[in-house]
C-alpha cells in the first residue's frame, strides 16, 4: 500500500500483531539512540556480549574488533544469521553509518532482542 500500514488500516484491511510497535518504529523521534551507544570497553563488561559487524566484508577483513561476527547487512534476516544471534546475549551492533546502525538496533529490539547496543 502506498501509505503503508496506516493506509492498509484506512482501507479496512485487518492487521495482526501490535501495530503500535510499527508506528513506534516509523516515529523514530521517540527512540533515545544515545542510550544505546556503548564503548568497546563498556561492552566487554556486559554479560554474554556478542559483537555483530554489519559493515561490508572488505571493511571487516581490513580490521574488526576481536571476536566480532560478520553479518552481511543484506542477509540480516537470513535463518543462519538469526540462529547465530542468541537473544540471551547483549548484542553490540557495528556499522560505519550511524543511521544504519540505529535501524539495525531498533529492528532487533522489535524482534524481541532485549539487550541491543550500538558501538560508539
Convert the pLDDT of each residue in 67-88 to its tens digit. 999 988 777 777 777 777 888 8
Same domain, 37 and 62: yes
Distance CA(116)–CA(51), nearest Å, equals: 10
Same domain, 10 and 37: no
Distance CA(37)–CA(5), nearest Å, equals: 30
Q: Which domain holds residue 25?
A: 1-30
pLDDT at 68: 94
In this structure, the dihedral spanned by the alpha carbons of residues 50, 47, 35 and 21, taken in order and rounded to 10 degrees, is 70
pLDDT at 51: 96
Same domain, 61 and 90: yes
State the SS3 of 17-50: CCHHHHHHHHCHHHCCHHHHEECHHHHHCCCCEE
* Helix, strand or coil, per DSSP, at residue 67: coil
Q: Where are the alpha helices (DSSP H) in 1-120?
A: 4-10, 19-26, 40-44, 57-62, 79-84, 98-110
pLDDT in tens, 98-110: 988 998 998 888 7
* Number of domain units in the chain: 2
* CATH value at residue 51: 3.40.250.10
**Does 114 score more than 70 pLDDT?**
yes
Mean pLDDT, the chain, rounded, equals 83
What's the maximum distance between 2 C-alpha atoms anywhere in the chain? 51
Same domain, 60 and 89: yes
Residue with cell 543511521: 99
Per-residue pLDDT band at 2 (split at 50, 70, 90): low
- Tell me what the mean pLDDT of segment 22-49 comes to: 81
Would the pTM of this model clear 0.85, i.e. be above it?
A: no
pLDDT in tens, 3-15: 666 677 788 887 7
Amino acid at each position: 500500500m502506498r501509505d503503508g500500514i496506516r493506509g492498509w488500516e484506512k482501507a479496512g484491511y485487518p492487521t495482526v500483531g501490535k501495530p503500535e510497535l510499527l508506528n513506534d518504529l516509523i516515529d523514530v523521534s521517540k527512540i533515545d539512540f544515545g542510550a544505546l551507544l556503548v564503548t568497546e570497553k563498556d561492552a566487554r563488561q556486559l554479560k554474554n556480549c556478542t559483537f555483530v559487524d554489519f559493515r561490508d566484508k572488505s571493511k571487516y577483513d581490513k580490521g574488526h574488533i576481536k571476536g566480532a561476527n560478520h553479518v552481511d547487512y543484506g542477509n540480516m534476516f537470513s535463518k543462519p544469521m538469526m540462529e547465530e544471534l542468541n537473544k540471551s546475549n547483549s548484542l553490540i551492533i557495528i556499522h560505519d553509518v550511524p543511521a544504519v546502525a540505529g535501524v539495525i538496533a531498533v529492528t532487533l529490539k522489535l524482534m524481541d532482542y532485549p539487550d541491543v547496543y550500538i558501538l560508539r
